[in-house]
Chains A and B, each alone.
Chain A
């Protein structure tokens, strides 16, 4: 630049160069590549679950488009005339018949249905794991709070996408699921029945619901997901990627590979890996064998009726809720209103709404809850190792436990038959666990995190136990400790350990009530802590254990200790 004053016009010589220059001079692609191609992404295997979610979403769009070519969301009655013998001549809806046709009479249709469904399961699973990674490493802290909220919304939308899709084949299994939704909706006091009539276009099941769910499933929900993915990724670019602490990795830099060419190649390759894995699964393993379930008919209910895994926890909560307590208390209240008496069925409303409300409220609000507790308003681009935030990790583990118990409850019948135990006992145990499991999990997880921190501290100060036992001249046996190298030690000592904040009295010498509450919560969070190793401690331990690098010539100095 400095050597020439006039900008030379670039004259391409090759044909490819000419085409590229033609496009570039009109689109300005090189600017984008220059800007975006130099984006740095740090490398860690846990950073790739968001990518998995993105790729499975792309696979869902592609396979879903194929399915729309052949699927007919009509609830008109027809008689199946396709090639699946055990259902031939059976009366069913056009939607179910076309789903069967996709499975048996459209070339490649069954594979496409299966890859679409498997991809949906993996999509929600990878979103969940991605969120757990973000939570446990503290990547939701400033400046990423809003992106966390966008992610939470994406999770709920992916549940909605999954559920609306699950119902489309109009088979017995999904119809049973819709019936539960209908029941939950009708349990909402006063407006429940109207809501249900509005959604189903009359009394359940009606003739509208499949068409309506189809519009939501292929139009509205994917459009909003796509929009939010755009916002999500834009914010990732804006905030830059977070990274684990390490030598040379600070809060103001990002150490990793640029998008072009390394990361783009890796990411592109990873898309095909995900596609390949899903294709292999779809080709070899049945999912949702709708031909087994038969057409939906409100009268039969099959044993082992469950929703897909991500809705399972709500189903589990419904299964765990006792219908009555003792002989008299049945959770049902008749509330007199001016227009008549309305029933309030808490035995449906509590399990269907309360667990989801608790989990989602805490999830959305968590960045602000934690910021209030720590009073930490700084930007964080360095991640926490989960053990270095013991209370947060323990709360996360408690949440996962709560979720998993409810999830297990959705398969209580299968647990009973496969482990030859009584279904009633399974239910009682899970009821106990859903209340006390999270508490136990919290305590155990926090203890484990603190113990791991102590172990880290021990290793940083005194080195790794080599298992080499040395006998000193005067007969004493010692085990030789090998100091860890600087890179390893950096990992062990580079973290913050907040301390309990004691509420400070104001100008009048009074402590406000909120401050007191804050003080109590702060103590709950940070009372048990392991302080990171200070340079002074490190220096002291170095002097102390210098001889333990244990060459033969140092034996004398070891002996002198």
Chain B
């Protein structure tokens, strides 16, 4: 301690301090940014996969995304979007896009799982990005649904609705209903931020928290609706419509019946 205090007025002390500060901030930044980065590839792709994927890409995607996936005026570059992005977009049928529009619509899946994996391998080979999540982290039974519910309400419900029934965004864009989405696609959507969705990286929502969210979504999906038919989980609008059309309709039928007997 004495040595340090003696040298604090050394001409090089300021340099040493600066160097130290730079190292610390740089190191912290590096640590923080790797936390945001994808985990190591859990599925390993072979050179064959990349090769096949490259061919599939050239035949099916390159017309918009460009040769080498560097992007064009019609579609963004896919360098660095990661395997998870391909797996989500192609695996949920959003890509190849059916038509231009505010956002890509889900439709029947166009490629086999094998082909999707090969294209993912190709895109992953272009630059580091979020990987396809492992089976363990997708296991909904390991998650805590009530913690996931709180995270969902704070982070997701404003677009996807508290019951995950979906909601509208501006200019024809929308947040889809999450009913029937697979665990893998939910996870991939969070890490890649497809369409208008923001990215929820691992620093923002840790993988275990993502697992909780998946557990919550799967729990409310499996438990069904305790109160009877859920009318689309759309809240008071469908309830109001129902009482006016069905409720009042039946009542009116009865009033007509009651008063027709006498006259």
Contacts and interface: CB of A to CB of B under 8 A. Distances in A.
A138 interface: no
Contact of A423 (B170, B236, B237, B255): B170
B122 to A, nearest CB: 33
A422 interface: yes
A432 interface: no
B225 A286 contact: yes
Contacts of B168: 303, 412-414, 416-417, 423
Interface in B141-191: 145-150, 153-154, 157-163, 165-172, 174-175
12 contacts: A103-B227, A121-B240, A125-B243, A173-B162, A273-B251, A281-B247, A285-B227, A292-B162, A294-B153, A309-B243, A312-B240, A424-B171
Interface in A39-82: 43-49, 52
B236 A309 contact: yes
Interface of B: 102, 145-150, 153-154, 157-163, 165-172, 174-175, 216, 219-220, 223, 225-231, 233-237, 239-244, 246-248, 250-252, 254-256, 258-260, 262-263
A308 B162 contact: no
A85 B226 CA distance: 12
A122 B248 contact: yes
Contacts of A370: none
A284 B228 CA distance: 5
Nearest to B238: A414
A304 B242 CA distance: 17
Contacts of A414: 168, 234, 237
A305 B226 CA distance: 21
Interface stretch (A87-95, A148-156, A181-189): A87-95
A285 B242 contact: yes
A158 interface: no
Contacts of B229: 284-286
Contacts of B216: 86
Given A277-B250, A289-B163, A300-B153, A104 B172 contact: no
Nearest to A427: B170
Interface in A258-306: 262, 266, 269-270, 273-274, 277-278, 281, 283-289, 291-294, 297, 299-306
A410 interface: yes
A86 B154 contact: no
Nearest to A52: B251
Question: DSSP class of A's interface residues: helix, strand, loop or mixed?
Answer: helix
Contacts of A46: 255
A88 B163 CA distance: 17
B172 A126 contact: no
Nearest to B247: A122
Interface centre among B163, B219, B229 (most CB of A within 10 A): B163
Contact of A45 (B174, B237, B259): B259
Interface of A: 43-49, 52, 85-90, 103-104, 110, 114, 118, 121-122, 125-126, 129, 172-173, 257, 262, 266, 269-270, 273-274, 277-278, 281, 283-289, 291-294, 297, 299-310, 312, 410-414, 416-417, 420-425
Contacts of A286: 225-231
B256 A45 contact: yes
A94 to B, nearest CB: 18
A297 to B, nearest CB: 7
Contact of A293 (B162, B228, B254): B162
A179 to B, nearest CB: 14
B258 A306 contact: no
A43 B262 contact: yes
Given A269-B258, A273-B254, A422-B102, 8 more contacts: A43-B262, A45-B252, A45-B255, A278-B247, A297-B153, A301-B157, A303-B168, A306-B235
A16 B62 CA distance: 94
B219 A309 contact: no
A300 B244 contact: no
Contacts of A292: 162-163, 220, 233
A488 B236 CA distance: 44
A86 B146 contact: yes
B171 to A, nearest CB: 5
B172 A303 contact: no
B216 to A, nearest CB: 6
Given A43-B262, A302-B162, A416-B172, A90 B255 contact: no
B260 to A, nearest CB: 8
Nearest to B174: A417
Contacts of B258: 45, 48, 266, 269-270, 273
A544 B117 CA distance: 88
A390 B172 CA distance: 41
A410 B145 CA distance: 31
Contacts of B231: 285-286
Given A286-B229, A287-B239, A424 B170 contact: yes
B226 to A, nearest CB: 7
A543 B20 CA distance: 116
B235 A423 contact: no
A286 B230 CA distance: 5
